[in-house]
Chains A and B, each alone.
Chain A
């Protein structure tokens, strides 16, 4: 069964304290891995798509990397406005269309 697991469930950081979020996946064939950010009461906001092992994408203080079994979202020198739930999702070769399998997310809190 295709599965996505995110860790930790919650993470508290001080402003400027860098860290990483983990997303491990078990799928029969990966078409793409996605990172989203979700603020309370809002829909997920697209951050990155990664397609193959070794690929990296960066956006401001965020950097996403991909291996054959997991992805990391590195947050460098976070600010309070980075506080949100970060969701990882995969598309698999088994599925037609754009259906995503989501992990349960990591809730990040950054205090000043």
Chain B
């Protein structure tokens, strides 16, 4: 079956702009989580959505937001981009039957210049 799909794979944006990233989970998976990965901080949890509701949130500023649609697809938005937002953004989905197994997408590499 198809894995987690993230689009786009690469993005270059300018400071101050905003960006929207997309994640399509594995079919049947209702939980979608977002993570930021940087060389210095490693993988850090941003937020999780389940059945269109935010279930959990990490320690990131309000410029980072997300949403989930009725088909479980999710989007993440970052407003007023800063240089420090350059990172690999990863999406993971999990099934209600095995909620502890998270499957990751390939990620979106965001570069802010």
Contacts and interface: CB of A to CB of B under 8 A. Distances in A.
Interface of A: 31-32, 34, 36, 41-46, 49, 87, 89, 91, 95-105
Contacts, number: 65
A88 B32 CA distance: 20
A43 B102 CA distance: 11
Of A43, A45, A89, A99, the most chain B CB neighbours within 10 A belong to A43
Given A101-B45, A102-B42, A91 B100 contact: yes
Interface of B: 4, 31, 33, 35, 42-45, 48, 50, 55-56, 58, 90, 92, 94, 99-107
A33 B10 CA distance: 31
A24 to B, nearest CB: 15
Given A42-B106, A43-B104, A46-B102, A97 B31 contact: yes
A98 B97 CA distance: 13
A82 B9 CA distance: 25
A104 B42 contact: yes
